[in-house]
Structure 1
Amino acid sequence: MDGATIIEQLMTTEVRADPYPLYGKARALGPIAPAGDGMFVVSGYEAVNKVLRTPGFGVATAEMMAGTAPELATHSSLALFGRSILQRNAPDQPRVRALIASVFNARRVAALRPAVETAVGRLLDEMAEQGADGSPVDFMDAFAFRLPVGVICELLGVPDQDRYRFRGLTSDLTVALEVLKDLDELGPADAAAEEMTRYFTELAAERLARPQDDLVTDLARIAAEDDGRLSAEELLANLVLLLVGGFETTTNLLGNGLALLFRHPEVAEGLRSGAVSPALFTDEVLRFDSPVQATVRVALEEGLAVDGLPVPPGSTVTVLIGSANHDPARYDRPEVFDPARTDSQPLSFGGGQHFCLGSQLARLEGEIAVPALLDRFPRLAPGGVPTRRDRLVLRGYETLPVTVR
């Protein structure tokens, strides 16, 4: 097996269901391996960490993609992400990221703790009522989606009545972040991008007319100053990104974490008794079954090398975050789920200039939600066969039925 075969197999449904055996084969080729036609695959922890943190490895911008494949420019989903900090390099990316970080800051996240605790309690009450007769409750829909979408919408300033419309839209839109064989798959993503852009155009205008204490107001005011710091297109693209990023990762973190607890009831008991730290449990879920499995970088400079292997300018580098988190050169017994690890530094939130702005919020929600769920439902159990989303980049469950009685 070579690097090209690794990338080809990553696009199959079978591997997406369980990519970890293939990751082991990738690491057997070395921390980095050529994958043909100016491509590389990076699978070792130190190599992945270096690529994520080296400014010379940037993202493929919309302009780069349009230059090599002009048909990409016709897809509004790709164009939307291409205007966000997710798909920009310096100087645009740090300029806009700094503006977002100035309003989406640690103080604002810490102040959300009471709101998160209240939301958790309300959703658990609803789960208890829904499953009171012993019928299965879909944890993904009833809790794992509703909690983080409610929290990020509270931060953004999205009204209550609009919040739950976004699950389907975001599911469609994030197809644009996957490695695709056929661009025809982007039809629903393009439609979702256009609808979400219209929504935030109207909400930003509303907040300029009637300001509130929320991120949409703060960022819309900056864009309205028209001083070159934040364009109207950048505003809309990054509001959509904040919404998507604000709950996609956390939704998958909660679902993946609960599925692991069903396989490891001793860990659930440890969380209930206090013997297992919620923070360390969250870290281990992020490491063991990362909500973000892969990303792509492009070599932007001369002289780049990873693990002694030169990476010429223009090379595409597939970065296997899920593999790095299972690298035996970094972790003892990486295939064992062990929340007692104290040296865990999973790369699930990325690194360097593209490190996830919402990482603190995701951790806060996970550390509050999981112990509360277990305390409320001592007999929480699987309620049916779960279904995974057929995705590689964003790994999580579509449904996860449970019984709560």
Structure 2
Amino acid sequence: MSVVDLRGAEDFSANPYPYYAKMRAEGPVHAVRTDDFERIWMVVGYEEARAALADQRFSKDWRTNGLWSAQSNPINANMLEMDAPHHTRLRKLVAREFTARRIDALRPRVEEITEGLLDAMVPSGRADLVDAFAFPLPMTVICELLGVPDMDREAFRLLSNAIVTPVSQEEENDAVHRMGAYLVELIEDKRCAPGDDLMSALIQARDDDGDRLSPDELIGMAFLLLVAGHETTVNLIANGVRALLDHPEQLALLRARPELIDGAVEEMLRYDGPVGTATFRFARESVAIGSAVIPRGEAVLVALGSGDRDPGRYPDPDTFDIRREARGHLAFGHGIHFCLGAPLARMEGRIAVQALLERCPGLERDPDGGEPDWLPGLLLRGVRHLPVRW
């Protein structure tokens, strides 16, 4: 069986979709060689990706297999890196506090933060949309939700970026340990002086049987909520605006019909979503997908971005159309690990894009902005900067 070689494919980060299309045409799953792995398996078909995301034959807990020798850290004690029944227990505990009611109550504050950022940004006539808007909005929201002090947020951004888009293994390992130490201190502060925030609630949370999160599980949960709560939404906003700017007829349509914003955000998630691949899974046993057999113990990546461009699921999938029925996309995953924060991300995306278009009627790319600086790696999909003017 041939192996798809992605080593040194610098254009993959800029535009992975032609690679995905070629792989899908040859089959729904492929062995892939990357700069970091001699062989991993990539699932690229929509139906196969959806099935794999819910298949309990694939484990999320890398600590139970011999593939990775990295030392575990308390931040790894999060539900994204656990299987049932441990995942089920953790999700039940956090879901009791991360409720739809709590998220709905955030709407006025999200709108207030959005308007404040635009008040600061609009008079200049141009900006890096990531630094000025797409990053600080979700970062402020999730930090306020969890109760992270203002002065810590920029330092947290640097650590988060070093973990999810690392330049080197050494940088990643250092950031993981520093992040763990930071969260230990944050949780201890919350334990000593609880507030009206989600982190304080999680420290006190118990289920009907008296179960509660252990110290390591609190660290892991704080890490997951903080990182997943802002990294993906940054890319949702920035990628969505890029798609609109690249398709002026769709931008004009959304301006003319702002009531299309809900569907527009779903199409943004489908067309160029914030997450390229789901995090690693590992085969508990040999698993056949299409004509391929993934051997027991080997690593699997589900290519969410490829599944959402599968013509078998979405007609004319490379066309960005905000009137498309895009629901059912894989941008937030599927199965027991479906993103807990999806309602919050959707709300932030809708508010952010709609307010931006209202306040910046002449929004366009800044011609002096230079070439895009794409996020490295397979996990996240987006740019570090998005220079625009209006």
Normalised by the length of structure 1, the TM-score is 0.87
Matched, 1:233 2:216: yes
Question: C-alpha offsets along residues 337-367 of structure 1, whole Å, 9 cap, x if unaligned?
Answer: 1111125321011111111111111000001
Matched, 1:280 2:281: no
Q: In the aligned structure 2, how far is the partner of 1:191 from the partner of 1:334? A: 40
DSSP-derived class of the 2:275 partner = coil
Q: In the aligned structure 2, how far is the partner of 1:79 from the partner of 1:202? A: 15
Q: Who is 2:89 aligned against?
A: 95
Q: In the aligned structure 2, how far is the partner of 1:98 from the partner of 1:301? A: 28
Q: In the aligned structure 2, how far is the partner of 1:35 from the partner of 1:9? A: 7
Matched, 1:123 2:109: no
Q: For residue 280 of structure 1, what is the amino acid of its counterpart?
A: G
Q: Which runs of structure 2 are paired with 1:297-308 in the superposition (5 Å)?
A: 297-301=281-285, 304-307=287-290
**Larger helix fraction of residues:** 1
Contact 1:140 1:255 in 2 (8 A): yes
Contact 1:276 1:340 in 2 (8 A): no
DSSP-derived class of the 2:229 partner = helix
Q: For residue 23 of structure 2, what is the amino acid of its counterpart?
A: A
Contact 1:62 1:79 in 2 (8 A): no
Q: In the aligned structure 2, how far is the partner of 1:38 from the partner of 1:244? A: 28
Contact 2:128 2:385 in 1 (8 A): yes
Structure 2 vs 1, CA of residues 391 and 34 (structure 1 numbering), >3 Å: closer, same or farther? Answer: closer
- 1:257 is displaced (CA, Å) by 0.8
Q: Who is 1:17 aligned against?
A: 14
Q: In the aligned structure 1, how far is the partner of 2:140 from the partner of 2:226? A: 10
Question: C-alpha offsets along residues 195-221 of structure 1, whole Å, 9 cap, x if unaligned?
Answer: 322222222222222221111111222
CA RMSD of aligned residues (A): 2.4
Picking from 60, 70, 84, the partner of 2:78 is: 84
Q: In the aligned structure 2, how far is the partner of 1:343 from the partner of 1:163? A: 34
Matched, 1:393 2:350: no
Question: C-alpha offsets along residues 79-127 of structure 1, whole Å, 9 cap, x if unaligned?
Answer: 3553211211122211112111111111111111000000000000010
Q: In the aligned structure 1, how far is the partner of 2:379 from the partner of 2:2? A: 18
Stretches of structure 1 lacking an aligned partner (at least 5 in a row): 177-183
Matched, 1:163 2:163: no
Structure 2 vs 1, CA of residues 199 and 278 (structure 1 numbering), >3 Å: closer, same or farther? Answer: same
Structure 2 vs 1, CA of residues 378 and 171 (structure 1 numbering), >3 Å: closer, same or farther? Answer: same
Q: For residue 143 of structure 2, what is the amino acid of its counterpart?
A: C
Contact 1:145 1:167 in 2 (8 A): no
Q: For residue 299 of structure 1, what is the amino acid of its counterpart?
A: A
Matched, 1:146 2:136: yes
Q: In the aligned structure 2, how far is the partner of 1:38 from the partner of 1:203? A: 39
- 1:312 is displaced (CA, Å) by 4.7
Picking from 127, 131, 146, the partner of 1:137 is: 127
- 1:35 is displaced (CA, Å) by 5.6
Comparing 255-264 with 193-202, greater Cα deviation is found at: 193-202
Q: Who is 1:62 aligned against?
A: 63
Matched, 1:357 2:343: no
Q: In the aligned structure 1, how far is the partner of 2:274 from the partner of 2:60? A: 20
Contact 2:143 2:149 in 1 (8 A): yes
DSSP-derived class of the 1:317 partner = strand
DSSP-derived class of the 1:103 partner = coil
Contact 1:3 1:40 in 2 (8 A): no
Q: For residue 48 of structure 2, what is the amino acid of its counterpart?
A: A
Q: Who is 1:180 aligned against?
A: none
Matched, 1:369 2:368: no
Q: Who is 1:326 aligned against?
A: 309
Q: In the aligned structure 1, how far is the partner of 2:294 from the partner of 2:171? A: 35
Stretches of structure 2 lacking an aligned partner (at least 5 in a row): none
- 1:39 is displaced (CA, Å) by 5.1
Count of aligned pairs: 380
Q: In the aligned structure 1, how far is the partner of 2:339 from the partner of 2:184? A: 24
Q: In the aligned structure 2, how far is the partner of 1:238 from the partner of 1:137? A: 34
Q: Who is 2:185 aligned against?
A: 202
Q: In the aligned structure 1, how far is the partner of 2:387 from the partner of 2:39? A: 44
Picking from 11, 23, 26, the partner of 2:23 is: 26
Contact 1:103 1:218 in 2 (8 A): yes
Structure 2 vs 1, CA of residues 190 and 315 (structure 1 numbering), >3 Å: closer, same or farther? Answer: closer
Comparing 38-47 with 337-346, greater Cα deviation is found at: 38-47
Q: Who is 1:262 aligned against?
A: 245
